[in-house]
Amino acid sequence: MTADVPTYLDGNAAAGALREVFAVDLTAAIGRCNGCGRTGAFAEARLYVDAPGMVARCSGCDGVLLRVVNTPTDTYLDLRGLTYLRVSSAE
Amino acid sequence: MERTALRRRLTWQVGTVTEIREETATARTLVVDVPDWPGHLAGQHLDVRLTAPDGYRASRSYSLASAWTGETIELTVEEVPDGEVSPYLVEVLKVGDPLEVRGPVGGWFVWRPEQTGPIQLIAGGSGVVPLMAILRAHAAAGSTTPAKLLYSVRRPTSVIYLSDLKEIAASEDVEVTFAYTREAPPGEPRVGRVDAGLLDAITFGPKDEPTTYVCGPTPFVEAVADLLVGAGHDPARVKTERFGPTGGPR
């Protein structure tokens, strides 16, 4: 890993893994960071995929928002960095 | 899109490659017939999974390149040197082969025909793929919403969808501009990255209240999004999608 080229993607890239668990799309949901209070679309979070699993971090304070780890039999979800997720009921 | 399609959990399904189109020396479009595909919105993507004979699996996320017409789907893959998935898709996969996919996914970086306001699309390299889907959906819907594409590429031979873009740019509602970063065609004096001056000269300004879609490698997207917000665009109307050197998540 080098410091000059960002290694992260964004929340859009977590859409497939999240849709295996949730019946609605969470990337368009508005989330609030439990660390700094910033709110924004989950799609705009920074997503690191080089870890075992995926780690989404706040684009404001870099705090961990969400972690997803798939094993052959289960999916682990850690949502502790999100105060809430607001999902549109429109669709 | 049908409601039932959105509400169920997603699973992997197997499609069949029905056509392959060479786009550039390193990118090609795969046309895939997926029997249970529920339809998709322009800008959405899908995951592709490869399984080795020993059971090892690798998956990557790719943007859908086509507007949904009720038949096949299209994805355009740019080969990432030393990549785990893209070299197989670009060099090995052939018509008639099965391809395991999961999608469509993503509800943020999308354009809906009923959406109001001008559309500003800004692509870096193969980041043009989901933006092409938006232009194709715009044309398919007969939309008269003004749309502009600014497409940053290294050189003329790197341009994906050149003939389709020329056709689409003939519409009076759509404007296509190329920005060459390494080598420009004869008669094109500007060579360089997208900067504040170029954005100011050829993209919709904040007063036009466009919805802006920026897609490309992470450094490109960050730089362009910062310039747009610095020029006074509402950050909530600047939608971004980044891809990395690995071409997507594992």
Does A18 fall in a domain? yes
Which residue, B82, B105, B128, sits at the end of a domain?
A: B105
pLDDT score of A5: 67
Does B179 fall in a domain? yes
User: Do residues B146 and B95 both lie within one domain?
Assistant: no
User: Do residues B239 and B127 both lie within one domain?
Assistant: yes
Residue A29 gets which letter from DSSP?
S
Does B250 fall in a domain? no
pLDDT of B6 > 60? The answer is no
User: Do residues B227 and B133 both lie within one domain?
Assistant: yes
Residues in contact with B151: Cβ distance below 8 Å, sequence separation at least 6, in sequence order: B123, B128, B131, B159, B165, B176, B177, B178, B179
- Answer whether 0.95 is exceeded by the pTM: no
How many domains in chain A? 1
Closest residue by Cα to residue A26 from A45, A50, A51, A4: A45
Query: What integer is the mean pLDDT of B199-207?
Result: 97
Query: What integer is the mean pLDDT of B122-147?
Result: 96
The range of the structural domain enclosing residue A72 comes to 9-86
Residue B85 dihedral angles phi and psi, to the nearest 5°:
-115, -45
Does A52 fall in a domain? yes
User: Do residues B210 and B165 both lie within one domain?
Assistant: yes
- How close B61 comes to chain A (CA, Å)? 7
How far is the C-alpha of B176 from the C-alpha of B162, rounded, in Å? 11
User: Do residues B158 and B225 both lie within one domain?
Assistant: yes
Does A62 fall in a domain? yes
- Token output for B118: 């001008």
pLDDT of A9 > 50? The answer is yes
Does B113 fall in a domain? no
Does A43 fall in a domain? yes
The range of the structural domain enclosing residue B11 comes to 3-105
pLDDT of B170 > 80? The answer is yes
How far is the C-alpha of B107 from the C-alpha of B130, rounded, in Å? 13
Query: What integer is the mean pLDDT of B162-185?
Result: 94
Q: Where is average pLDDT lowest: B51-65, B91-105, B108-122, B125-139? A: B51-65
Sort out which chain A residues have CB atoms less than 8 A from B109's CB and list them: 12, 43
pLDDT of B248 > 50? The answer is no
Which tens digit of pLDDT belongs to each residue from B65-88? Answer: 999 999 999 999 999 888 889 999
Comparing CB atoms, the residue among A24, A27, A54 nearest residue B108 is: A27
Does A2 fall in a domain? no
Which tens digit of pLDDT belongs to each residue from B28-51? Answer: 999 999 999 999 999 999 999 999
Cβ <8 Å between A43 and B102: no
pLDDT score of A2: 45
User: Do residues B142 and B193 both lie within one domain?
Assistant: yes
Cβ <8 Å between A13 and B243: yes
- Domain of B63: which CATH number? 2.40.30.10
User: Do residues B98 and B123 both lie within one domain?
Assistant: no
Asked if B10 is an interface residue toward chain A (Cβ–Cβ < 8 A), one would say: yes
pLDDT of B249 > 70? The answer is no
ipTM of the complex: 0.87
Could you tell me if A66 and A21 are in contact, meaning their C-beta atoms sit under 8 angstroms apart? no
Residues of A with CB under 8 A from a CB of B: 5-17, 19-25, 27-28, 41-44, 47, 49-50, 54, 91
- Token output for A32: 């609030």
User: Do residues B132 and B72 both lie within one domain?
Assistant: no
Q: Where is average pLDDT lowest: B148-157, B166-175, B206-215? A: B166-175
Does A3 fall in a domain? no
User: Do residues B142 and B232 both lie within one domain?
Assistant: yes
pLDDT of B187 > 80? The answer is yes
User: Do residues B123 and B78 both lie within one domain?
Assistant: no
- How close B62 comes to chain A (CA, Å)? 9
Does B248 fall in a domain? no
- At B246, the pLDDT band (50, 70, 90 cuts) reads very low
- Domain of B201: which CATH number? 3.40.50.80
pLDDT of A41 > 60? The answer is yes
- How close A82 comes to chain B (CA, Å)? 18
pLDDT of B59 > 60? The answer is yes
Does A35 fall in a domain? yes
How many domains in chain B? 2
pLDDT score of A4: 61
3-state helix, strand, coil in chain B (%, to 5): 25, 35, 40
